[in-house]
Each structure stands twice: as structure tokens, then as C-alpha cells.
């Protein structure tokens, strides 16, 4: 565009003045040449008329036709002469030649002496006056004397000669002049244009080269340079641009270097764990993804290990996070030393590590894992004069063509690790499909999904079972609300099937919330309308997780406060393990809810082998003897003794005792003998849907 712009301007600069001058000059020259041609014809015609007129004098004066014809014939040979006629003084034609149709001589027009002319569009007519030539015959003029013979006055004009000239050749000449002029003009203009174009190109070439380089630089090709060949302003410009480009390039390179470094740092940070410097979970998963691909494509075998530190929580809880972090750092350093080049060790989160052994047989993998385990076992962590021995549980899964997706592999490794922990920790467990522990683990995982689905689809149900007092005076009603899940086929599922999974995967607060909310909704009317003396106590199971969850507690309190008086109709059953696991928290929970009138029962007492001392510290109202002792007590002395002992101690600390799992008349009889306060079991009352109880009112 620049090239065209400047070159066009240069071209205009060369052409416009040249064109103006040329056009004016050529126009003027042509006009004058045309005029000259016309004038030349006029001049020639006048000259011929002037010459011919005297020549005709003799012929006219003597009336000699022959002389005139001869004269006219020779004159006719002159170019452009179309016709000639000789007129006598009275206007009659004396002689003629050529094709002209002469009318009588226009004496009025041509009167007078000399030469006159008439212009016609295609021709030109000249009239020359034929004058008598006077010649002196006397040596001197003798005057006076009438007898002295004076020549009688004679008319000097004796006729005219008329010449008609054709203008055809003049016009042709004029046309030729115009054509030639135009040719010259065009040639001149073309030469001017060529010169202008050439000059323009000389000017534009460096500019074009500059602009090309500037454009390239603009596009980012900083290595581009102008060919510096000029010495003048262009040279300065070229060198300037080259200098600028060089500086720009060096700055760009420095900047790029910094960017590269920063990018590398970012990339490192994105793929590595900041604490240990090991690969992070994301990077580990992508490497695992590649390993899986290579297995599928090339049939390679790799090993994936999921490692979880044993006793890490103890160190973290007793010595603080700093100690935990330091432990992880030191351990990472040790484990790195055990790595082969192609292996990947990653920190997957908390105290969990991942190890990917690429192109490794199961045997080698187990050997490497064992080295890792041994290395961790050898390591003793020292912190503030204390020395901790730690271990690691390793779940291993082989990555083969059939091993499935990354998620499957991680899940399998995790499960294997879980098994290793379950089997006593600080050991390696290789994942196998038939593994029963793993199957259970898998079952739990499946239950999680089912529970969530049931909650979403409202497929959980509440049933109630009477807790019957054995004392004759006790007329109050006491029931326990039990949870059922309805599967997709409509079958009821007992809670022992899905509650362990819910407990392991932290679903219990959600389930407890559902239970309380549904209890309140379904029995709202019932609970409200009953008089205080005719009330029914609803036993609701609470999980340890819910007990520990402050948010759950707050929500429950605010919900109960919305319904005053409702609290005294509720009895929360907490398990021994849940209460003892967090004694202070459990006590706090119990105290706060007691203020709202709620009662508490210690559930499954005896199964956790807990100390009786807790019975003193926990402010509960009922003690539910674990069904495992009650079920067979009619036949088993030990169980009967256990039940008796628990009942006695419960009574001693002021609690009312409840026996579960009463399945037979014998059991009931024994319990009556012992003096248990309440009994509960399918023999006495099979659980029924809650709606039946609530609709009884």
C-alpha cells in the first residue's frame, strides 16, 4: 500500500506538470501548425494569384485565348488548384480550366486592385486583378499644349483571374499534424510516466523494504533486519530500525526467559506438592492415565500402590501440624531414595502417598513395596526429645490391560490399603478380585450410592416397636423408631445392611436429620395433642457423628424450640461407643437437649466393652442392654450373668434398664425374674409403620 501510495504520487509528480506543459505546448503548436498550413495555402494562393494576374495581362489585353489556355493549363498543374478562370473587365469569362463552375465574377466583392479572396468551407477562391502594365515610352513628359498627344486615360484594370483552391490536402495535412502531435504527446507522456515510475520505484524501494521489516517486526518476527545500503536519510532510518529491532529482540528474549522460568515454576507448582516436593495427586493421576493407556495399547504391566501412614494422626494430634509436616518432609526424602528413575512417588493428600511403578512385574512390585514398607519402619521420627515409630499400610494393584479406568484403579488400591490397615497395619495387601474384605468394602461403597439415592427418592421409611414396661404401675408408652430402606424392587432393607457404610462415609448426620424431621412431621399432631399424662416417648437413634457435629446440634435445638413441649416426648438413643469416643462432647450435647426436656438412652451397652465408669459420667435415663447378651440368655448362663450385672449396675446408678432382642417367652420370663424395667423384641411387638401409631389418635 505504501509502495503504491508513494509511487503513485511520484508518478503524478512527473506526469501532471509534464502533461500540462505538453498538452498546452502541443495544443499551441498544433493550432499554430494548422493555422500555418491554412496560412500557407492562403499565401500560396495569393502568390499564385499575384503571379498569374500579370501573366494573364497579355492574353487578356490581346484577347489571345491560346496564350491564356496554355498559362492556365500550366497553372493547373500546381498542387491544390481546383479551377482557374480569367475574367474580362466586364466580368465575362475569357478562359477557364479545371472543374470549377464559375459564375460571373463577383465584381462587387473583388472590386479594387490587388488580390482578394473568398473563403468557402471546402475551398478557397482568390481573385487577382489583372492590371495593365505601364511602361514609359517618352524620355520626358512634355506638358501642356492640347496638341501634345497625351495618352488617353485607360482603365488600369483589364480583368481578373480567379483561382479556386481545394482545401482537401490542407485538411489532410492538418489531420496529419494533429495525429502526429497526439503521437508525440502520447510518446512524451509514456516516457514521462516511465521515468516517473522508475524514479518512484527508486524512492519507494527502501521505504517498501523498511515497511516490510516494520510489519514483520510488528508480527513478532524480531529477527528481521533491513538491508542497510543507504547513506542518506534512508540509511539513518534503516540503521535506526535495525538498532531498535535488536534492542527489542534482546528485551524480548530476556522477557521470554523470565516467562519461561515463571511458567516452569507454575507448572512445577501445579504438578508438585509444596510440602514434600513430590508429585501431587493431579499429576499422579495423569501419569497413571498414561500408564493405563500404555497397558491397553502395548500390553505393559505397571503397579500402583496406595500408601497410608500408620500412627500419623497420633503424631499430628499430640505434637501438632508442624511435627506432622516435618514427618512428611523427612519421609518423602527417604522414600525418594528408594525410587527408580521411571517410578513416580506422589503425595495424594494428608498422610496418603501414591507410588506408580512403571513396567514392573508383580513380583518386583511387591519387592519394591516391601522395601518402602521396611524403609518406613526403619525410620524413627524424632520430635522434641520424643521418638515415634511409624508404619505404612500399602494397598497394591497391578495395572494391566483389564484393570479398568484410573478411578477404578485408585479405588481398588485404596480398598487394598484399607484391607492392609484392617489386617493389622504396616503391611502390604495386593488387590485381588475375589478378596472378601474388599468385596465388603466395595459393598459399602455401593451402599453409599444407594443411601444417597434413597434419600433423594424418599425411599426411607420409619417403623416403630413398642418398648414394654414390665412393671404393673407404668402406664406410659415407650416406642423405638427404627429405619427401613425400600429398594428399587420394593423390598425393605434393614439398617444393619447400610448403616455401617453410612457411618464409614459420614452419611449419618444426614440420615439422622431425615429421621428427626420425618418423626416430627409425621407425628406432629400426635405429639401435640397427647396430654402430658398420656404421652408416648419416642426413641430415636443418634449416631456418634451427629453427636459430634455442632451444626447438627444447633439445627436440632432450633427445630425443637420451634415446637415447645415436644422435647419431653423424645428420647435419643446413643451408642456406648459413640458416647465414650467423645465423652465431653456427648455430655455437652445431652445437657443442652435435656434443657428442652429430652431424654437419653445408652444403646447397645456391653458390646463396646466399655468401662462402667462412664455410666456415672453420662447423664442418661435408660440403659439398653446389648441384644447379643439378651438373645441367648435363657440358655446361656454367662449371658444371663452379664445381663444381670448390667441391670444391677444400671439400677445402682439410677437408670432404668431395657432389654432388646426378646425373642421368646423363656427370655421374657428370665428378664422378669431379674427385674429388668422394659423389654423390647419382635416376640412382643413386630415393628410397624409409623403412620399406624400416629393415626391411632
Q: Whole-number minimum distance, CB 92 to another protein, in Å?
A: 16
The residue from 79, 103, 108, 152 that contacts another protein (CB under 8 A) is: 152
β-strand 123-131 against 115-119: which pairing, if any?
antiparallel
Nearer to another protein, 131 or 555 (CB): 131
Q: Whole-number minimum distance, CB 66 to another protein, in Å?
A: 11
Contact between 468 and 523 under an 8 Å Cβ cutoff? The reply is no
In Å, how far are 586, 606, 652, 657 from 614, measured between CA atoms? 11, 12, 13, 16
Residue 675 main-chain phi, psi, to 5 deg: 105, 25
Q: Whole-number minimum distance, CB 178 to another protein, in Å?
A: 47
The residue from 103, 148, 496, 609 that contacts another protein (CB under 8 A) is: 148
Residue 103 contacts another protein per CB under 8 A: no
Residue 134 contacts another protein per CB under 8 A: yes
Nearer to another protein, 52 or 507 (CB): 52
Residue 38 main-chain phi, psi, to 5 deg: -65, -45
The residue from 79, 101, 121, 151 that contacts another protein (CB under 8 A) is: 151
Using CB under 8 A as the binding criterion, the count of chain residues that bind another protein stands at: 26
**Contact region for another protein (CB under 8 A) — 87-95, 128-136, 350-358, 665-673?**
128-136
Nearer to another protein, 61 or 408 (CB): 61
From residue 556 to residue 575, the character string flagging contacts with another protein as x (rule: CB under 8 A) and all else as - is: --------------------
Q: Whole-number minimum distance, CB 167 to another protein, in Å?
A: 35
Residue 89 contacts another protein per CB under 8 A: no
Residue 402 contacts another protein per CB under 8 A: no
Residue 299 contacts another protein per CB under 8 A: no
Contact between 540 and 510 under an 8 Å Cβ cutoff? The reply is no
**Contact region for another protein (CB under 8 A) — 143-151, 391-399, 602-610, 624-632?**
143-151
Please calculate the CA angle 151-154-157 and round it to the nearest 5 degrees: 145
What gap in Å lies between CA 515 and CA 500, rounded to an integer?
17
Q: Whole-number minimum distance, CB 90 to another protein, in Å?
A: 15
Burial 327-344 (b: 16+ CB within 10 A, else e): bbeebbeebeeeeeeebb
What gap in Å lies between CA 606 and CA 158, rounded to an integer?
175
Q: How many CB atoms lie within 10 A of CB 417?
A: 24
Residue 145 contacts another protein per CB under 8 A: yes
DSSP 501-533: HHHHTT-HHHHHHHHHHHHHHHTHHHHHHS-GG
β-strand 81-88 against 570-575: which pairing, if any?
unpaired
**Farthest-apart Cα atoms in the chain, separation:** 215
**Contact region for another protein (CB under 8 A) — 14-22, 139-147, 235-243, 610-618?**
139-147
What gap in Å lies between CA 195 and CA 202, rounded to an integer?
11
Nearer to another protein, 145 or 218 (CB): 145
Residue 90 contacts another protein per CB under 8 A: no
Residue 212 main-chain phi, psi, to 5 deg: -65, -45
Nearer to another protein, 86 or 416 (CB): 86
Q: Whole-number minimum distance, CB 59 to another protein, in Å?
A: 10
Residue 532 contacts another protein per CB under 8 A: no
What gap in Å lies between CA 601 and CA 571, rounded to an integer?
7
Residue 388 contacts another protein per CB under 8 A: no
Residue 66 contacts another protein per CB under 8 A: no
Of residues 507, 489, 510, 405, the one with CA closest to residue 449: 507
The residue from 9, 42, 132, 594 that contacts another protein (CB under 8 A) is: 132
Name the grid cell of 18: 509534464
Positive or negative: CA dihedral 610, 612, 613, 618? positive
What gap in Å lies between CA 671 and CA 658, rounded to an integer?
10
Q: Whole-number minimum distance, CB 130 to another protein, in Å?
A: 12
Nearer to another protein, 156 or 176 (CB): 156
The residue from 143, 491, 531, 584 that contacts another protein (CB under 8 A) is: 143
Residue 387 contacts another protein per CB under 8 A: no
Of residues 525, 478, 467, 513, the one with CA closest to residue 691: 525
Nearer to another protein, 101 or 136 (CB): 136
The residue from 90, 99, 108, 136 that contacts another protein (CB under 8 A) is: 136
From residue 24 to residue 63, the character string flagging contacts with another protein as x (rule: CB under 8 A) and all else as - is: ---------------------------------xx--xxx
What gap in Å lies between CA 579 and CA 588, rounded to an integer?
11
The residue from 24, 142, 255, 259 that contacts another protein (CB under 8 A) is: 142
Q: How many CB atoms lie within 10 A of CB 358?
A: 20
3-state secondary structure of 391: strand
**Contact region for another protein (CB under 8 A) — 145-153, 306-314, 335-343, 445-453?**
145-153
The contact set with another protein (CB under 8 A) reads 57-58, 61-63, 132-145, 147-152, 154
Amino acid at each position: 500500500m505504501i509502495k503504491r501510495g508513494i509511487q503513485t504520487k511520484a508518478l503524478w509528480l512527473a506526469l501532471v506538470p509534464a502533461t500540462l506543459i505538453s498538452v498546452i505546448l502541443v495544443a499551441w503548436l498544433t493550432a499554430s501548425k494548422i493555422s500555418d498550413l491554412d496560412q500557407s495555402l492562403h499565401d500560396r494562393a495569393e502568390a499564385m494569384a499575384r503571379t498569374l494576374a500579370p501573366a494573364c495581362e497579355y492574353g487578356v489585353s490581346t484577347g489571345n485565348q491560346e496564350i491564356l489556355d496554355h498559362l492556365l493549363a500550366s497553372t493547373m498543374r500546381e498542387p491544390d488548384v481546383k479551377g482557374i478562370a480569367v475574367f474580362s473587365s466586364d466580368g465575362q469569362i475569357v478562359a477557364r480550366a479545371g472543374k470549377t463552375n464559375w459564375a460571373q465574377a463577383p465584381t462587387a466583392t473583388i472590386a479594387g486592385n490587388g488580390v482578394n479572396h473568398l473563403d468557402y468551407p471546402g475551398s478557397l477562391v482568390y481573385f487577382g486583378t489583372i492590371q495593365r502594365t505601364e511602361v514609359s515610352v517618352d524620355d520626358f513628359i512634355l506638358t501642356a499644349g492640347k496638341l501634345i498627344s497625351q495618352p488617353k486615360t485607360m482603365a488600369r484594370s483589364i480583368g481578373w483571374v480567379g483561382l479556386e483552391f481545394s482545401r482537401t490536402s490542407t485538411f489532410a495535412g492538418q489531420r496529419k499534424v494533429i495525429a502526429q502531435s497526439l503521437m508525440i504527446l502520447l510518446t512524451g507522456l509514456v516516457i514521462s510516466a516511465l521515468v516517473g515510475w522508475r524514479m518512484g520505484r527508486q524512492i519507494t524501494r527502501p521505504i517498501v523494504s523498511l515497511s516490510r521489516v516494520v510489519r514483520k517486526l510488528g508480527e513478532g518476527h524480531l529477527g528481521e533486519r533491513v538491508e542497510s545500503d543507504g547513506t542518506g536519510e534512508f540509511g539513518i532510518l534503516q540503521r535506526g530500525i535495525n538498532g531498535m529491532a535488536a534492542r527489542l529482540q534482546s528485551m524480548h528474549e530476556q522477557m521470554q526467559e523470565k516467562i519461561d522460568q515463571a511458567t516452569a515454576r507454575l507448572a512445577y507448582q501445579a504438578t508438585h506438592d509444596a510440602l514434600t516436593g513430590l508429585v501431587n495427586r493431579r499429576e499422579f493421576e495423569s501419569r497413571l492415565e498414561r500408564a493405563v493407556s500404555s497397558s491397553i495399547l502395548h500390553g505393559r504391566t505397571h503397579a500402583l500402590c496406595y500408601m497410608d501412614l500408620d500412627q500419623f494422626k497420633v503424631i499430628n494430634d499430640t505434637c501438632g501440624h508442624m511435627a506432622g509436616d516435618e514427618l512428611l518432609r523427612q519421609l518423602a526424602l527417604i522414600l525418594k531414595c528408594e525410587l527408580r528413575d521411571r517410578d513416580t512417588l506422589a503425595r495424594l493428600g494428608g498422610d496418603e502417598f501414591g507410588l506408580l511403578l512403571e513396567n514392573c512385574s508383580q513380583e518386583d512390585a511387591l519387592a519394591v513395596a516391601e522395601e518402602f514398607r521396611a524403609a518406613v519402619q526403619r525410620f524413627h521420627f524424632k520430635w522434641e526429645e520424643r521418638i515415634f515409630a511409624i508404619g505404612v499400610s500399602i494397598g497394591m494393584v497391578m495395572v494391566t490391560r483389564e484393570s479398568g479406568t484410573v478411578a477404578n484403579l485408585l479405588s481398588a488400591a485404596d480398598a487394598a490399603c484399607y484391607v492392609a490397615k484392617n489386617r493389622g497395619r504396616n503391611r502390604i495387601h495386593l488387590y485381588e478380585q475375589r478378596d472378601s474384605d474388599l468385596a465388603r468394602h466395595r459393598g459399602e461403597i455401593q451402599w453409599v450410592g444407594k443411601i444417597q439415592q434413597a434419600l433423594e427418592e424418599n425411599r426411607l421409611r420409619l417403623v416403630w416397636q413398642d418398648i414394654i414396661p414390665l412393671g404393673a404401675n407404668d402406664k406410659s408408652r415407650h416406642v423405638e423408631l427404627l429405619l427401613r430402606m425400600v429398594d428399587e424392587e420394593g423390598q425393605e432393607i434393614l439398617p444393619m445392611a447400610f448403616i455401617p457404610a453410612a457411618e464409614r462415609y459420614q452419611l449419618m448426620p444426614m440420615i439422622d436429620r431425615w429421621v428427626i424431621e420425618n418423626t416430627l412431621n409425621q407425628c406432629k399432631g400426635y405429639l401435640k395433642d397427647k396430654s402430658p399424662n398420656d404421652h408416648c416417648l419416642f426413641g430415636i437413634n443418634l449416631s456418634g457423628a451427629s453427636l459430634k457435629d455442632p451444626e447438627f446440634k444447633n439445627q436440632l435445638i432450633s427445630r425443637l424450640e420451634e415446637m415447645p413441649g415436644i422435647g419431653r416426648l423424645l428420647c435419643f438413643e446413643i451408642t456406648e461407643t459413640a458416647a465414650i469416643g467423645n465423652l465431653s462432647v456427648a455430655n455437652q450435647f445431652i445437657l443442652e437437649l435435656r434443657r428442652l426436656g429430652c431424654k437419653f438412652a445408652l444403646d447397645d451397652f456391653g458390646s463396646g466393652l466399655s468401662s462402667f465408669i462412664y455410666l456415672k459420667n453420662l447423664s442418661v435415663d435408660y440403659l439398653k442392654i446389648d441384644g447379643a447378651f439378651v438373645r441367648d440368655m435363657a440358655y446361656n448362663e454367662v449371658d444371663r450373668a452379664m445381663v444381670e450385672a448390667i441391670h444391677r449396675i444400671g439400677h445402682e446408678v439410677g437408670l432404668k434398664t431395657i432389654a432388646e432382642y426378646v425373642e421368646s417367652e423363656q427370655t421374657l420370663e428370665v428378664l422378669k425374674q431379674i427385674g429388668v424395667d422394659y423389654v423390647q423384641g419382635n416376640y412382643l411387638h413386630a415393628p410397624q409403620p409409623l403412620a399406624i401409631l400416629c393415626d391411632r389418635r
